[in-house]
Structure 1
């Protein structure tokens, strides 16, 4: 005879064990989605015409960003449709061996600064790769590169709510 104070049976222990495992997995899944949502994220999709789409989710700071490459070097891009060119910091430019071309004036969100024109042999973002992309080397940018219109103008861009979709132009 078992009383209310007796230990749980082996069957009850197994059920408690599996319930705890399920609860932990659900919690980790929720945490993963919260982190991805906060950081923004890139995924690939396909439209009804078979075009591959790069889909970005807005980050908590209201920006769209994702990882990519410049000349084979990993970079984190902030998508900036207000930037005329792809822009990189002096530090990043030096670390990946970019050529500092003619000095120019650049209007940034923080005001005018002096920078340099350069060309990027290859820019990759999601499944999209362009060659010979105009860029600027802009002092004070920090660690992120700006993915500006010298890259984006070659694609179709649609922003709806917290989602930005980039597709190759076409049918």
Structure 2
């Protein structure tokens, strides 16, 4: 093998490495864009209303839903706002990570049919600078999502105003 053949082989290897790195960077870049489209509220911003109350402005995602990052008992979670859900509904695998209390079970009717859930209570729930306390919740063993349904047990404590593709959550007086 000549020196020229060795140089060509090394050049081809570096060419392949450059292509692999370029593709990896493109995947990394576009993955961030796709995640932003799925949850455009990964860092919800809080504002003070004219009356001095905290409010959070949420953008609708590509599917028309409002998702946001929030906290339950100081631990980060993802909420999917659901005005059709009576309570905050937490998948069992997330409730275990959050160490939420689990009380008596009862049956609920969901979009996927009837299922048994367990009562629970959230000491503190945060979205941006909005804090809610002692929020009724349920733990749903048959719900396999990584999102928590933010139902009316939390949303009834807020004022909601939708304008175009933005939903404003505001503390109540």
Q: TM-score range by the shorter chain?
A: 0.7 to 0.9
Structure 1 residue runs without a partner (length 5+): 1-31
Distance 1:164 1:33 in 2: 21
> Does residue 60 of structure 1 match 2:94?
no
Task: Specify which of 151, 156, 167 is matched with residue 164 of structure 1.
Answer: 167
> What per-residue deviation string (whole Å, max 9, x for no partner) do you get for residues 140-160 of structure 1?
241111111111111110112
Relative to the length of structure 1, the TM-score reads: 0.74
Task: Specify which of 45, 48, 51 is matched with residue 47 of structure 2.
Answer: 45
Deviating 4+ runs (over 6 angstroms)? 32-35
> Does residue 140 of structure 1 match 2:135?
no
> What per-residue deviation string (whole Å, max 9, x for no partner) do you get for residues 28-72 of structure 1?
xxxx88864553223333333333320000001110011111112
Over the aligned positions, Cα root-mean-square deviation in angstroms equals 1.9
Given that residues 37 and 58 in structure 1 are in contact (C-alpha distance below 8 angstroms), is that contact kept between their aligned partners in structure 2?
Answer: no
Distance 1:159 1:121 in 2: 28
Relative to the length of structure 2, the TM-score reads: 0.73
- Between Structure 1 and Structure 2, how many residues are aligned? 139
> Does residue 151 of structure 1 match 2:161?
no
